[in-house]
Structure 1
């Protein structure tokens, strides 16, 4: 069943109103008609199966048939901090990690970031990333649309480490602790009823410098490896995120 995220204001007591691009998608792409059913969610506390009643240009109204429980989200909240990669790789990272289960994304600039940051173009790029994220969240039946923050500097990102229960710094030169080595003791320390917040930090194409690794550890991050093979920057976040969710039992893990 097709899913759409709408604003809180679009929910009424027994009906919903769908406008803008979502209304056009229902009418033109999905060729919806009265009587068809879809799922709508406000991304916060309400999610429902609704039956389309009227379809006009730019406006679709529907009646609420059934309220749904919002049980699709993982217990552990993982934010992916990704150093800006070149080309459209960030779009791939956002799309796939939204499908896997990230709750938010923090792009940042690091020492070896290749991308030339242009603040004037940033709003348009953020808008595109958020659109991709919303579509991926709908496709994968998420209960929320992950947040995407404006890019931070490396120092700004490190200052945010204190906001998380654990910070894992993915470093390809790490020869000691692997992600699972660091993760399992943390999982054992987490109370069953809690929802821990984890930050996963992934570098750019050229990786992190030794100085950045040292500063990250001084700021409270745990440097971890992701196995013997070197992963592309757009792959590392997907792999690490999947490992974290698996070990927390979100993908049939322990």
Structure 2
């Protein structure tokens, strides 16, 4: 059943009003009409089955029942992704949302190939938020991940200082044959914990960045025995976490 996230101001008692792009999608793409059902999601993370009462410039729906099936990851996971080409970041946002990420923070690494124009950041973030919303609807989630503006590594460290687990995917852990497997780390990430994983750029972390992360309390981890692309690494991590705690 089609799912739409609806802002809080559009909920009144047992009525929900859907506007703008979502209203257009309902009318023109899905071709729904009075009496058809869909799922509306409240910002508090609750989903409801609703039926369309009227179709006009806005879609007026009546709430029928709450849907209690929870499909969110047990942990609150923040993926800090080194920026690369725009399509790679968009891919990570879409797929990480499908896999249950809670928050995505792009960061400017020393070896990042791409350099984003700060004047265009608002436009980029708006597009990323739209991608996250659509992916959350498609994967039947009740929360849309928050997409942050681009931060420096120092800002990331400060932003995540109170997290329960802070790790970074370090290629040297693979090359040096680190003994501790990712699964051992993940078993410690019990439900309800806040987890931050930092993914480096195409050229990897610089030695200075790795040292700064170690000194700030981050733990380096290896993601399997192979060197992964920057857009593959966060998906590997989220999939491993999901397998351990959801399957």
TM range (shorter): over 0.9
The 8 Å contact of residues 45 and 143 in structure 2, kept in 1 or not, is answered as no
**CA displacement at 1:211 relative to structure 2:** 2.0
Counterpart for residue 108 of structure 2? 109
The verdict on how the C-alpha distance between 1:24 and 1:86 changes in structure 2, with shifts beyond 3 A counting, is: same
In the alignment, the residues of structure 2 paired with residue 45 and residue 180 of structure 1 have an alpha-carbon distance, to the nearest angstrom, of 29
Correspondent of 1:207 among 201, 204, 217: 204
Whether 2:81 is the aligned partner of 1:78: answer no
Matches within 5 A, 1:1-254: 1-57=1-57, 59-69=58-68, 71-174=70-173, 175=176, 176=178, 177-184=180-187, 186-187=188-189, 190=190, 195-247=192-244, 249-250=245-246, 252=247
**CA displacement at 1:67 relative to structure 2:** 1.7
TM-superposition CA deviations, 1:2-39 (whole Å, max 9, x none): 00000111111111110010000000110111111000
Report runs of 4+ in structure 1 exceeding 4 Å deviation: none
Unmatched segments (≥5 aa) in structure 2: none
The 8 Å contact of residues 161 and 220 in structure 1, kept in 2 or not, is answered as no
Unmatched segments (≥5 aa) in structure 1: none
- The CA RMSD over aligned residues, in Å, is 1.3
The 8 Å contact of residues 83 and 114 in structure 2, kept in 1 or not, is answered as yes
3-state DSSP class of the match of 1:92? helix
Relative to the length of structure 1, the TM-score reads 0.92
The 8 Å contact of residues 170 and 223 in structure 1, kept in 2 or not, is answered as yes
**CA displacement at 1:229 relative to structure 2:** 1.0
TM-superposition CA deviations, 1:186-221 (whole Å, max 9, x none): 24xx4xxx5100001101111112221121111011
The 8 Å contact of residues 166 and 198 in structure 1, kept in 2 or not, is answered as yes
In the alignment, the residues of structure 1 paired with residue 27 and residue 3 of structure 2 have an alpha-carbon distance, to the nearest angstrom, of 14
The 8 Å contact of residues 15 and 64 in structure 1, kept in 2 or not, is answered as yes
3-state DSSP class of the match of 2:63? strand
**CA displacement at 1:154 relative to structure 2:** 1.1
In the alignment, the residues of structure 2 paired with residue 165 and residue 63 of structure 1 have an alpha-carbon distance, to the nearest angstrom, of 41
Say how many residue pairs are matched.
243
3-state DSSP class of the match of 2:149? coil
Relative to the length of structure 2, the TM-score reads 0.94
**CA displacement at 1:70 relative to structure 2:** 5.6
